[in-house]
Structure 1
Amino acid sequence: MDIARRNNVTVTGNPQGPTVVLAHGFGCDQNMWRLTVPALARDHRVVLFDYVGSGRSDLTAFTEDRYGTLDGYARDVVEVCEALDLRDAVFVGHSVSAMIGVMAAEAAPERIGALVMVAPSPRYIDDEGYRGGFSAADIDELLESLEANYLGWSAAMAPVIMGNPERPELGEELTNSFCATDPDMARIFARATFLSDSRDDLKKVAVPTLVLECDQDVIAPREVGAFVHRAIPGSHLVTLRATGHCPHLSAPEATNEAILDFLAGLR
């Protein structure tokens, strides 16, 4: 299989520099990183891709059997890394991709040498002693609404997820991204995302890790960032002065600065 075509792989930046892999979240594609790529490209080789079912990936490669759990998306990451023969790459994952990166790093430790987790959440549903931000009923309602009317759900939820109501163009962009995703594939990815529980995977992380959280985020509240930071030995936690769940779009300067500072510390 042509992995580069399947996952719409793009390679840019400095071919002599360390490699950074940028991974998008649910309902998005690699274009969501367009404000981060220029900051990285001068000194780093930058790899972007779309998960199967997203963006310009090969939609014919999508199966519910594979992509009904986060493991299938982690396999995408590993196979992209293998196709490019990456070694000790820095994996930057937004939202659910942060946990997908954790799984990929465990599966292929020789390929991924560090993690940057942007607005991560290992579990979205509250549990005893854990606040994920949603009750089980909240998530059931979210998924039922998504499955009943995906386009309507996207129009209603994307601006909430993005935050920054004073900048409606950001919410509109996320809405358009959600609406461009095949509804059946989005439904499967949504269930894999919002019903996941990856808390036990965090304690297995053995690579340098940066946790980036926003000071206001309805999807991943600050209690989640603190939990992830505590669970990963030696991780660094940075709280961005940013609102919403997509700081690489709403606060790109602060996001890029934090990533670059972390990358500089790896040298």
Structure 2
Amino acid sequence: MTLPLPLDTPAATWHWHDLPICYQQVGDRGPAVVLIHGFGASWGHWRHTLPVLGMDCRCYAIDLLGFGGSAKPTPGQPLSYTFATWAQQIADFCDQVVGEAAFLIGNSIGAIVAMQTAVSFSDRVLGVAALNFSLRLLHERHRATQPWHQRLSVPLLQSLLKQSWFSTFFFQLAAQPQNVRRALLQAYRRPEAVTDELVTMLLKPAADPGAAAVFAAFTTYSQGPLPEDLLPHLPCPAIVLWGEADPWEPITLGRQLVEAAAIEEFIPLPNVGHCPQDEAPELVNPILQAWLARHAPPIHTP
């Protein structure tokens, strides 16, 4: 098995809207691939994927604005933390750093970012692979289908999170090692995958100035696209992988949405939770390699 990319590997920096954006690259030949992490994560969540896909591809893992080693400006100054913003970030990254269209692979909200990029900037995207895409169950359009206590409690909590004193307190409470570990043990089916290294990786950006405001901005963001808005309009080859044991994004709901769209494959991953690329790279990486090989543009020789 290929060793993961060490988390202390020096990262590169790209300036976007005069803001530093962190990314990693492995591989210098073949088609371009951009890996997009989920909420609260960073390029390090792809440390098992980068060196494997980098054997045959130019593989990039980027930190979305507001996360990881990327800038965390005050929401709305100048940019808001929305899928439209992040899709523009990925499209510009393909233009300015990658230099051509790329395959996008995303986990959780990163998969929604990949879909939004493909729909809004079809010329920049060769294909989309979505891993346990976020169902956005707290979206305002889902509110009528929620239990009565959630219909009352979610808007109240979101309203409180818009108050800086409360959001700072709530974020500081959530960003404690024991609470991060507890959440990971819920999200991951394999407890041995929840390592001290993983907890430290997720906690490090939480100490950055602005991290609490980013957390509040996204947890109160109940608008924007739902996956069912984007899936039918994907203009490129697409596959979905889903950890069957995901407690946050139920596979039954994901499968229903995919069946209504033109997706090549829906691949369930047994005994795996919300972040398959980190928890079970031995299952995920071969699937991604085969998919990329199947759709990679032909190499033109003189």
Which category describes the TM-score, using the shorter chain as reference length?
0.7 to 0.9
Q: Which runs of 5 or more residues in structure 1 are unaligned?
A: none
1:177 to 176, 179, 202: 202
* Partner-residue secondary structure (3-state), 1:84: helix
2:35 corresponds to 1:22: yes
> Where does residue 102 of structure 1 map in the other structure?
115
Change (3 A) 1:187 1:170: farther
> Where does residue 43 of structure 1 map in the other structure?
56
Find the aligned partners of 2:196 and 2:174 in 1 and give their Cα distance: 13
> Where does residue 86 of structure 2 map in the other structure?
73
Find the aligned partners of 1:265 and 1:153 in 2 and give their Cα distance: 42
> Where does residue 33 of structure 1 map in the other structure?
46
- Aligned-residue RMSD, C-alpha: 3.1
Shift of 1:169: 3.2
* Partner-residue secondary structure (3-state), 2:241: strand
Find the aligned partners of 2:286 and 2:152 in 1 and give their Cα distance: 38
2:274 corresponds to 1:261: no
What is the TM-score normalised by the length of structure 2?
0.75
In terms of mean alpha carbon deviation, does 134-143 or 55-64 score higher? 134-143
> Where does residue 218 of structure 1 map in the other structure?
247
1:163 to 174, 182, 188: 188
> Where does residue 187 of structure 1 map in the other structure?
216
Shift of 1:17: 0.5
> Where does residue 115 of structure 1 map in the other structure?
128
Change (3 A) 1:196 1:49: same
Change (3 A) 1:175 1:246: farther
Find the aligned partners of 1:242 and 1:65 in 2 and give their Cα distance: 42
1:12 aligned partner, one-letter code: V
1:87 aligned partner, one-letter code: E
Find the aligned partners of 1:174 and 1:242 in 2 and give their Cα distance: 21
Residues paired across the two proteins, number: 263
* Partner-residue secondary structure (3-state), 2:128: strand
Give 1 or 2 for the bigger CA radius of gyration.
2
1:150 aligned partner, one-letter code: F
CA contact (8 A) 2:90 2:117 kept: yes
> Where does residue 25 of structure 2 map in the other structure?
11
CA contact (8 A) 2:74 2:213 kept: no
Change (3 A) 1:11 1:175: closer
> Where does residue 151 of structure 1 map in the other structure?
172
Change (3 A) 1:49 1:130: same
Find the aligned partners of 1:138 and 1:209 in 2 and give their Cα distance: 36
CA contact (8 A) 2:187 2:247 kept: no
2:276 corresponds to 1:247: yes
CA contact (8 A) 1:215 1:222 kept: yes
Shift of 1:140: 4.6
Cα shift readout 1:234-261 (whole Å, capped 9, x = no counterpart): 4311011243211111111101122112
Identity of aligned residues (%): 22
In terms of mean alpha carbon deviation, does 171-180 or 148-157 score higher? 171-180
CA contact (8 A) 1:225 1:237 kept: no
Find the aligned partners of 1:171 and 1:245 in 2 and give their Cα distance: 18
Change (3 A) 1:139 1:154: farther
Q: 4+ residue runs of structure 1 moved beyond 6 angstroms?
A: 128-131
CA contact (8 A) 2:101 2:123 kept: yes
Find the aligned partners of 2:137 and 2:56 in 1 and give their Cα distance: 35
Find the aligned partners of 1:163 and 1:197 in 2 and give their Cα distance: 26
CA contact (8 A) 1:6 1:58 kept: yes
What is the TM-score normalised by the length of structure 1?
0.84
Cα shift readout 1:174-213 (whole Å, capped 9, x = no counterpart): 4751563311112212333x65541212211121101010
